[in-house]
Structure 1
C-alpha cells in the first residue's frame, strides 16, 4: 500500500498514510481499545449486532473494522455466518486478526470502503461502526455505492455513527474542530440517495462523542 501522496478523497488529519489510522496516529494504536472502552462505545457495537440480525448462514462484511471490536461481537453472535472484515490500516487489521483468533472463522482484508475487492452481490449484510464520519461526503458516497454493489438484493447495511438531526456537537467535535454531528446528520440522506430504503432506527448521546445514530438500510429486492 502506498503511503505518499495522500489518498485524494480521504481525510488523513496530516498523517503520511493515504488513510486515517484507527487511532488517529500510529503511535496511539496500542491504547486504542482502552480509549474506545472509556468513551463508552462497546454498548453501541452490541446494539448494532443485535439490530443486524445475524443469525443463520449469512455472508457478512464489516467495513472499517479497526482493531476488531465489532468483528469479535459479530463472530460471537453469529457462529454460522461467514464474516469478512476490512480496513485500510494494516496495523489495525493485524491487531484485529489477533483479537479474533479462536472466536471463529473470519477473513480479514486490507481494503478501503470505497474500493472493495469483492464481487457484486456477495453479501447479505454490511456493517459499519464509527467510521464513516472520518470521510468527506464524496468518499462517503463512493463507500455507500460500494456497499450497495456488494449487497445482494434484500440485503441490509447497518450503520452506527456520529451525528443526529438537530443535535448539538459533542465534546470531541468541539475539541478537534470537526463538525461530526452536523456531517453525520446528512448521512441518512446520503444513504437514501445511494438507493437504499433507509430508516434511522435510534439515536443515542454519548458524553464525549455526542449524538450517534443507528441506520438500517435495505437494498430493494429485484
Structure 2
C-alpha cells in the first residue's frame, strides 16, 4: 500500500466501535427488514445473486439478501458492527461472508450488485472517486450499484438554512441530537448531488436514476456498461 493511500478503516464522525452507538443504530436510522426486502426485490436480488453490502451496519440488508438466496459479502469498518451482523445471521439462520474493510479495501469480484446505505459520506470526495472505480471493477458488466446517502441537494448559497432545517428534522424525528448532526456536517464528508453524480459517471458507470428527497437525502442507481 502506498504511503499516500487513505486509511478507510478509521472511524469518521460518530464512533461506531462504541457498543452503545451500535445498539441504538437501527432505531435511529429507521432500519427495516421489510423495506430492505422490497428494495432488494426491485433490484432483482434472488438465488445466486452475487452482491456486496458496503457499510453494512448491523446487517439488516445483508441478511435479508442472504435469506432471498443471494451470495452476500457484508463489509464494514467497524468490528462492533460486524459482531452485530454475526448475531443477526445466527438469529435468522442465514450464511454470508464478513469483511472488516471499507470501500477502498474490500475484496470482491464478479458481483451482480453492490449496495451501500449511508456510508459513502465517510470518504472525502477524492476518495469517493477511487472507491467508485473499485466498485465498478468489482462488478460484472451489466452489474449495478445502489447508493443511499446523506447528500446536499441545495445550492451552495443555501448551506446554512439547509443544515439547520436538517438538524431540526433529525432532532424531532430520530434519536439523533443536535451535536450528532453537527458532527456529521463538520467532520464527515457529505457532498452535493451534482458532485456525486459526476463522480459516479467519471468512474465509468451509466447513471440510471438519481432521486433527491429534502432536505439532504439521495438515492442513485448506476450500472457498469455491458
Residue 127 of structure 2: SS of its match in structure 1?
helix
Measured in 2, the distance between the counterparts of 1:200 and 1:181 equals: 22
- Which residue number corresponds to residue 155 of structure 1? 143
CA contact 1:133–1:180 (8 Å) conserved in 2? yes
Residues 1-222 of structure 1 mapped to structure 2, 5 A cutoff: 9-10=6-7, 18-20=9-11, 23-27=14-18, 29-42=19-32, 45=36, 48-76=39-67, 78=68, 80-101=69-90, 102-119=92-109, 122-166=110-154, 168-169=162-163, 170-171=166-167, 175-176=182-183, 177-178=185-186, 183-185=191-193, 186-205=195-214, 210-221=215-226
CA contact 1:63–1:128 (8 Å) conserved in 2? yes
Q: Structure 1: where are the runs of 5+ without partners? A: 1-6, 12-17
Q: Taking CA–CA contacts closer than 8 Å with sequence separation of 6 or more, which of the two structures ends up with the larger relative contact order?
A: 2
Of 135-144 and 151-160, the range deviating more from structure 2: 135-144
Displacement of 1:215 in angstroms is 0.4
Displacement of 1:159 in angstroms is 0.6
More helix by share: 2
Q: Structure 2: where are the runs of 5+ without partners? A: 156-161, 168-177
Residue 26 of structure 1: SS of its match in structure 2?
coil
Q: Could you tell me the TM-score, scaled by structure 2's length?
A: 0.75
Say which one has the larger Rg. Answer: 2
Aligned length: 200
The runs of at least 4 consecutive aligned structure 1 residues that moved more than 4 Å come to: 43-48, 179-182
**CA 1:40–1:157 in structure 2 vs 1: closer, same or farther (change >3 Å)?**
same
Displacement of 1:180 in angstroms is 6.8
